[in-house]
Amino acid sequence: MIETTAALQEACAQLAQSEFITIDTEFLRETTFWPELCLIQMASPDVEVLVDPLAKGLDLAPFFELMANPAVVKVFHAARQDIEIVHHLGGLVPHPIFDTQVAAMVCGFGDSVSYDQLVSRIKNIHIDKSSRFTDWSRRPLSEKQLDYALADVTHLRDVYLSLKEQLEREGRALWLTEEMAILENPSTYDLHPDDAWQRLKARLRKPSELAILKFVAAWREREARSRNVPRSRVLKDDAIYEIAQQQPKETEALGRLRTIPKGWERSASGTAIIEAVNTALALPKSDMPHPPKQSHVPEGAAAAVELLKVLLKLVSDKQGVAAKVIANTDDLEKIASDGEDAQVAALSGWRKELFGDTALKLIEGGVALRFVNKKVEAVEL
């Protein structure tokens, strides 16, 4: 367990000599907005380390320098949350990266396969996950916790090498480029408070309702960040929806809402909500946001979408690629509606070659689906 800056500097220097390192983190987030980093695990082919970021006086600068080293591939499994931590604390995004969960989908291991399932299928080893939800902030950590934490990066070495070899053997290494570019983009982890409303799922149709939703959601985002508490501790989603629909212009009206706790409307937060509502309603009509246009499948095209789903399943099974990586239902609806003009990833790059070209032929009548010998196949007409 590394607990000093000097030891971390030495370990990172050793790790930097490898072509790749595997990385994982343990953190807590139940009561905070930002994840509380409690442990860092790293391994190269011949070095294995655990780093205690809670150790007094430990400076993580050597770790961040390693994360920024372009000569070392950083291997994660389901990288997004780990990278979010590095981005928040170090102000950078690791580069280059390799996400074994995404690679596993391209290699035919199914949608969003878990780490323990991947280790089991590739190495035939069962990982004890009973320590997963333990309190990683308490010290000292138990031997069971340390063994579990280290296993998250030691087995990942073999998983990475196996997936990398399969991708190269099957000529699919470049297929990961697009997904890795998204994970390496800082904007993926730096949601602006003014865009926080996009997290909400409300079906609001009136411009004034949507304006209030955006202003209140932005206030909540800033408040949660400044107080370092979960968004729901500041204001629950249901309350934002009700405020947007009822549009209270004074504290008395706010206090009558079902989702607002008694007396909360007289707090500083209540005052801020009223200010946000009135600011939104004061926008000129031309500046009011408009609900995004809903994509409607043309009459009679629903059957085409179902046929495209069958084709997608057929292609994903045959090619050993998770359907989720190729296209989703929205993509299929756009292809059925707009044909080759559909702006979807499935009609570009390797996805087009694998699925998109055949999908276009299917909706244009150039390909048929038939059931032969108890299986479906696509045939050109």
Residue 366 has a pLDDT of: 95
Average pLDDT over residues 319-326: 92
Range(s) of the domain holding residue 305 = 301-380
* pLDDT single digits (tens) 205-238: 899 999 999 999 999 999 999 999 999 999 999 9
Q: pLDDT band at residue 361, thresholds of 50, 70 and 90?
A: very high
My answer on whether 317 and 341 are in the same domain is yes
My answer on whether 41 and 171 are in the same domain is yes
My answer on whether 235 and 201 are in the same domain is yes
> Over pLDDT 90: what percentage of the chain?
83
My answer on whether 129 and 16 are in the same domain is yes
* pLDDT single digits (tens) 93-141: 999 999 999 999 999 998 889 999 999 999 999 988 888 889 999 999 9
* CA separation, residue 14 to residues 17, 69, 250 (Å): 6, 13, 62
Q: pLDDT band at residue 63, thresholds of 50, 70 and 90?
A: very high
Residue type present at position 124: N
Residue 298 has pLDDT above 70, yes or no: no
* pLDDT single digits (tens) 236-253: 999 999 999 999 999 999
Residue 293 has a pLDDT of: 66
My answer on whether 216 and 151 are in the same domain is no
My answer on whether 30 and 160 are in the same domain is yes
Residue 296 has a pLDDT of: 62
Examine the fold and report which residue of 159, 188, 217 is the final residue of a domain before the chain moves on. 188
My answer on whether 222 and 157 are in the same domain is no
My answer on whether 244 and 166 are in the same domain is no
Residue 295 lies in a domain: no
Residue 349 lies in a domain: yes
Average pLDDT over residues 33-50: 97
My answer on whether 13 and 140 are in the same domain is yes
Residue 120 lies in a domain: yes
Structure tokens given for 126: 């069962």
Query: Under 8 Å CB-to-CB from 262, ≥6 apart: which residues?
Result: 255
Q: How large is the angle between the packed helices 302-319 and 329-338, nearest 10 degrees?
A: 120
Q: DSSP string of 34-95?
A: S-EEEEEEEE-SS-EEEE-TTSTT---HHHHHHHT-TTSEEEESS-HHHHHHHHHHHS---S
My answer on whether 36 and 55 are in the same domain is yes
- pTM beyond 0.75: the answer is yes
My answer on whether 37 and 176 are in the same domain is yes
How do beta strands 73-76 and 20-28 pair? Answer: parallel
Examine the fold and report which residue of 145, 172, 188 is the final residue of a domain before the chain moves on. 188
The DSSP secondary-structure symbol of 31 reads T
Examine the fold and report which residue of 125, 155, 188 is the final residue of a domain before the chain moves on. 188
Q: Is the torsion defined by CA of 12, 13, 15, 19 positive or negative? A: positive
Residue 227 lies in a domain: yes
Q: For 155-201, what is the HEC assignment?
A: HHHHHHHHHHHHHHHCCCHHHHHHHHHHHCCHHHCCCCHHHHHHHCC
Give the dihedral of Cα atoms 317, 318, 323, 328; nearest 10 deg. -120
* CA separation, residue 346 to residues 33, 304, 312, 325, 329 (Å): 35, 16, 10, 9, 11
Q: DSSP string of 53-65?
A: TTSTT---HHHHH
My answer on whether 110 and 30 are in the same domain is yes
Residue type present at position 369: L
Total domains, the chain: 3
- CATH value at residue 199: 1.10.150.80
Q: pLDDT band at residue 190, thresholds of 50, 70 and 90?
A: confident
Residue 290 has pLDDT above 90, yes or no: no
Average pLDDT over residues 153-180: 93
Residue 288 lies in a domain: no
